[in-house]
Amino acid sequence: METAQAFLDLKIPVVDLSADFRLSAAEVYETWYGAHRCHDLLKEAVYGLPELHRDKIKTARLVANPGCYPTSCILGLAPLLKGELIQLDSIHCDSKSGVSGAGKTMAASNLYCEVNEGLKAYKIGEHRHTPEIEQELSRIAGQEVVVSFTPHLIPMDRGILSTLYAKANGDLDSAKLYNHYEEFYSSEPFVRVRPLGTFPSTQDVHMKNYCDIGVHFDPRTGRVVVVSAIDNLTKGASGQAIQNMNLMMGFEETSALI
Amino acid sequence: METAQAFLDLKIPVVDLSADFRLSAAEVYETWYGAHRCHDLLKEAVYGLPELHRDKIKTARLVANPGCYPTSCILGLAPLLKGELIQLDSIHCDSKSGVSGAGKTMAASNLYCEVNEGLKAYKIGEHRHTPEIEQELSRIAGQEVVVSFTPHLIPMDRGILSTLYAKANGDLDSAKLYNHYEEFYSSEPFVRVRPLGTFPSTQDVHMKNYCDIGVHFDPRTGRVVVVSAIDNLTKGASGQAIQNMNLMMGFEETSALI
Amino acid sequence: METAQAFLDLKIPVVDLSADFRLSAAEVYETWYGAHRCHDLLKEAVYGLPELHRDKIKTARLVANPGCYPTSCILGLAPLLKGELIQLDSIHCDSKSGVSGAGKTMAASNLYCEVNEGLKAYKIGEHRHTPEIEQELSRIAGQEVVVSFTPHLIPMDRGILSTLYAKANGDLDSAKLYNHYEEFYSSEPFVRVRPLGTFPSTQDVHMKNYCDIGVHFDPRTGRVVVVSAIDNLTKGASGQAIQNMNLMMGFEETSALI
Amino acid sequence: METAQAFLDLKIPVVDLSADFRLSAAEVYETWYGAHRCHDLLKEAVYGLPELHRDKIKTARLVANPGCYPTSCILGLAPLLKGELIQLDSIHCDSKSGVSGAGKTMAASNLYCEVNEGLKAYKIGEHRHTPEIEQELSRIAGQEVVVSFTPHLIPMDRGILSTLYAKANGDLDSAKLYNHYEEFYSSEPFVRVRPLGTFPSTQDVHMKNYCDIGVHFDPRTGRVVVVSAIDNLTKGASGQAIQNMNLMMGFEETSALI
């Protein structure tokens, strides 16, 4: 985290790919990660999800690039909260990720034969991306939002699929739901809402900077189901970092991205 | 379905691997599958989940072998409902399956390059295994239970992992939850409750007839999270059929099964 | 094949991705593929391997884009024949390909569960790419060359690795062998000779237009072993087609290619 | 290697899964592996390939269980040498293995993302299984035989496929070749010769103790091509160890094996 300060002292703007500046409340950071040594920067840093914070990113010196899971969950859920379409205490995020999300760590659990033909959940109720999702959803809702977040490891290289559930507020149907998403993201270059009745596969966003979203309202349960797909190494990491850099530097937002 | 009747006429007991006799209410069957031509057998057939219906299976002429997804979801949720530990309108079943669950169908969606390095949800809110799950949970609860059920396709051959969520009723903690499961399944030969804090991978049950279960209570959200793993071709199909046959014929229940 | 003629009549140059114009001898074509209906074009067509036929490609109206296996085998073996380093009757091509080489054909053998966790050889001694390899090697050698060619199917999406064997002529050692390859391909933009003692993986050329080559001389057997890796959908198909188009149209040869 | 001696001192027969006693010539062992500290046992140990050494195994105190690659190569080639059907200086072994062959070593090269969607050759001309293959082939031939052996890593868990090439001696055709193999292995419980024109996949021997073999004579090149498939963890390791134990203890050879 001190490195960010060093660059800023040299007047070099920073997009930070680590988790150091994603949580604006120091006490939340310290609960999940440990001591934070740059409280001032924490207040200044902008959460680098252009679809929510584009204007602030344009003028920021320090942008905290979001985590891969949070990118897929927040983009999938934001329209529901902005539109006040769901009950805030009913949100579940069931996320599935390819193995590159674990980095190149030399852990037995990352060996080929331990991953191949296997499927598991991990860090249930305690994954560090949980407060990041909650921070952004709470900002939209204007009140504290708590979610269940369960990550899973899938035997493939790249890609995250998040299946998101919430209880609808009052009357809703699939067409109304779809139209709300379609309008919400109508001018976004990197979010594609899928035609009603279809849902994205991670193959659709492989090596691309898109977040693809499909929505469904289930009248039997009164619940909304949203499926959100990204490539964890592109929109979930370096692609989004370039998108943020483009905004900060005044370049075309879509420059060098597909 | 007429074939089952033909065997029974010859006094040959039947374990049916199809869905024909899984739903005891003809109108529910016909809503999800189409016309049913053997209403009488529908009433007689026993749902072949030994952990719930062992005694009836022992004396049955016709056993309906459960679907793969329902086996994982019902075994994962049954203790919660029997113990009245959760709110009945809060159940979510997020299930993930290897490709062999789709059979050997010649569909483009089952080609290697369409599946490999991909991940998707399908038939959201409309998969035929939904009423099977609801039927068994409703029987336990003694009232109608409705669930969200979302199946996903995973790039691997075999295995189902179901991540199950529900809102706890009153006071609960992980130890209490674990003890309840441990006791509930203490004499079951094919259900293994994992030590608290650990969760099963599908690799743990690969080619075996076990259902492995891990449980977690999340005090932040007041929700229970249960992870249930089976091999869809063993406990989810032919292994369970042998287990049922063993019970019907008076053989040792675990005979020829690992 | 008539479509090629139709385009040429309109003065539109053609890069043909099929096998129709790869074999210049009609009788060889007809032995392996069946009747050929455009003998004149067969004589005119240029075999589109820029590393061997760049000048002819530049002025050609019709370029036959090489097969994926032949691209990997011919580029791996060409320096040995040009340098007269091997015995011509000693060549073995053992090639391994990802599944996309089979196209999107709806065959049971292409279903996920038939391919995954499996490995097999196919069309041993009778694959249609054999005469293509032999035609190009014979042209270099100035006499008829016959090879063993064995293709294998590998459980992955993309990539071909060919392991090539031949008996050395007279004195040879690994350094001499390496220097010959290094010089042979020194000005080629899309062939990379790997440092002595290292060999390429298909991951090195994934989604790229490169052919990566590693060489080894084994003093125990007096044999040369060459490993050649390409992406079958890039240098083995559409990437090479673009390279050929660039040459035909006077564009920069590397334009739009990585 | 001292552990083997310790067991023998206690009159406990040993099947050794390591490479310690596979090479009967100490100097060959030391060239490929380093110092050997039990020369006496080296002379006494029997190479545990039942198809070649069944009688000696039955009375042995110490059996050296063969390597996985050598099992597939030797079983594939033995009939050719016994029948004097090939030129001894023309043998090539191109072998492909799943990742479990590498054990559970914590190497970056065994991480999921390094293996998945990749394919490579390794240890070309220097793999330690080479002398083991040559020792057994030389014993059959009654003279020194040298081979090319090239191992490859395939993105799958289990299975070895070896594609074996040699130049035929005098007149041969596929039927004659097939009949020779069929007769050679007619009474072997764990070797299956595939019908002429078909070749095994590693899926055919998955988790089984079989070695499946397909043969082809190519009149164009005068070469024999043999494809040999085993499961590296069964016939290539522990399954074969049980087969050897069965023989040593006087049990039914096929006991506890499928």
Cα distances from C231 to residues A140, C115, C157, C158, C214, in angstroms, run: 46, 19, 10, 6, 16
Give the residue-averaged pLDDT of C150-175: 96
Contact D111 A108 (CB under 8 A): no
Contact C110 B108 (CB under 8 A): no
Nearest to A110 among D99, D100, D112 (CB): D112
Nearest to D111 among A112, A155, A156 (CB): A112
Say yes or no: ipTM exceeds 0.85.
yes
Six token digits for residue A56: 């602030």
Let me know: does A155 contact A99? Beta carbons within 8 Å.
yes
pLDDT in tens, chain D (258 residues): 999 999 999 999 999 999 999 999 999 999 999 999 999 999 999 999 999 999 999 999 999 999 999 999 999 999 999 999 999 999 999 999 999 987 778 888 899 999 999 999 999 999 999 999 999 999 999 999 999 999 999 999 999 999 999 999 989 999 999 999 999 999 999 999 999 999 999 999 999 999 999 999 999 999 999 999 999 999 999 999 999 999 999 999 999 999
Residues of C in contact with B106 (CB under 8 A): 106, 108, 111
Which residues of D are part of the catalytic machinery? 68
Q: Calculate Rg over the CA atoms of chain A.
A: 18
pLDDT at B132: 98
State pLDDT tens for residues C123-151: 999 999 999 999 999 999 999 999 999 99
Identify the band that residue A108 occupies on the pLDDT scale cut at 50, 70 and 90. Answer: confident
Q: Is the pLDDT of residue B104 over 80?
A: no
- Look-up of token digits 């499946």: D212
What average pLDDT does chain B have?
A: 96
pLDDT at C84: 97
Identify the band that residue B101 occupies on the pLDDT scale cut at 50, 70 and 90. Answer: confident
CATH topology of domain C68-232: Dihydrodipicolinate Reductase; domain 2 (3.30.360)
Nearest to A203 among B117, B121, B199 (CB): B117
Q: Is the pLDDT of residue A103 over 80?
A: no
- Look-up of token digits 């010089």: C183
Residues of A in contact with B165 (CB under 8 A): 92, 94, 148
State pLDDT tens for residues C96-106: 999 998 777 88
Q: Give the pairing of strands C160-167 and C223-230.
A: antiparallel
Count CA atoms closer than 13 A to A36's CA, side-chain side.
21
Helix (H, G, I), strand (E, B) or coil at C202: helix
Q: Is the pLDDT of residue B161 over 90?
A: yes
How close D107 gets to chain A, by Cα (Å)? 7
pLDDT at B107: 87
Give residue limits of the domains in chain C: 2-66+237-249, 68-232
Level-2 CATH architecture, domain A2-66+237-249: 3-Layer(aba) Sandwich (3.40)
Q: Percent of chain B scored above 70 by pLDDT?
A: 100
Contact A116 D108 (CB under 8 A): no
Let me know: does C34 contact C145? Beta carbons within 8 Å.
no
Interface test with B, best of A91, A96, A205 (most B CBs within 10 A): A96
Estimate to the nearest angstrom the gap between the alpha carbon of C54 and the chain centroid.
15
pLDDT at D104: 77
Other residues' Cβ atoms within 10 Å of the Cβ of residue C58: 16
Other residues' Cβ atoms within 10 Å of the Cβ of residue A68: 26
Give the residue-averaged pLDDT of B106-125: 93
The dihedral sign for the CA sequence A188, A190, A195, A200: negative
pLDDT at D176: 97
Q: Domain B68-235 class?
A: alpha beta
pLDDT at C108: 87
Residues of C in contact with B112 (CB under 8 A): 99, 110-112, 114-116, 155, 157
Interface test with B, best of C106, C109, C112 (most B CBs within 10 A): C112
Q: Which residue has the higher pLDDT, A1 or C252?
A: C252
What average pLDDT does chain C have?
A: 96
**For residue D235, is it left (φ>0), alpha (ψ between -120 and 50) or beta?**
alpha
Q: Reading across the β-sheet that carries A14-16, which strands appear in turn? A: A14-16, A62-64, A46-47
Identify the band that residue A190 occupies on the pLDDT scale cut at 50, 70 and 90. Answer: very high
How close D158 gets to chain C, by Cα (Å)? 7
Give the residue-averaged pLDDT of B34-56: 96
Round to whole Å and give the CA distance between A85 and A157. 35
Q: Percent of chain C scored above 70 by pLDDT?
A: 100
pLDDT at A18: 96
Round to whole Å and give the CA distance between B199 and A59. 45
Q: Is A68 a catalytic residue?
A: yes
Give the residue-averaged pLDDT of B161-171: 96
How close D85 gets to chain A, by Cα (Å)? 40
Q: Is the pLDDT of residue A104 over 80?
A: no
pLDDT at D162: 98
State pLDDT tens for residues A210-230: 999 999 999 999 999 999 999
Q: Which long-range contacts (CB under 8 A, 24 or more apart) does B49-52 make?
A: B49/B74, B49/B75, B49/B136, B49/B240, B50/B190, B50/B240, B50/B243, B50/B244, B50/B247, B50/B253, B51/B75, B51/B78, B51/B185, B51/B188, B51/B190, B51/B191, B52/B78, B52/B136, B52/B139, B52/B140
- DSSP per-residue string spanning D95-143: EEE-GGGGTT---GGGBHHHHTT--EE-STTT-TTHHHHHHHHHHHHTS
Nearest CA in chain A to D157: A113
What contacts C22, CB < 8 A, 6 or more positions away?
Answer: C45, C47, C64, C66, C67, C70, C132, C135
Residue D250: its H or E element: none
Let me know: does D225 contact D215? Beta carbons within 8 Å.
yes
- Considering the candidates C68, C73, C93, C211, report the single residue annotated as catalytic: C68
Round to whole Å and give the CA distance between D110 and D226. 29
Residues of D in contact with A106 (CB under 8 A): 106, 108, 111
Give the residue-averaged pLDDT of B135-150: 98
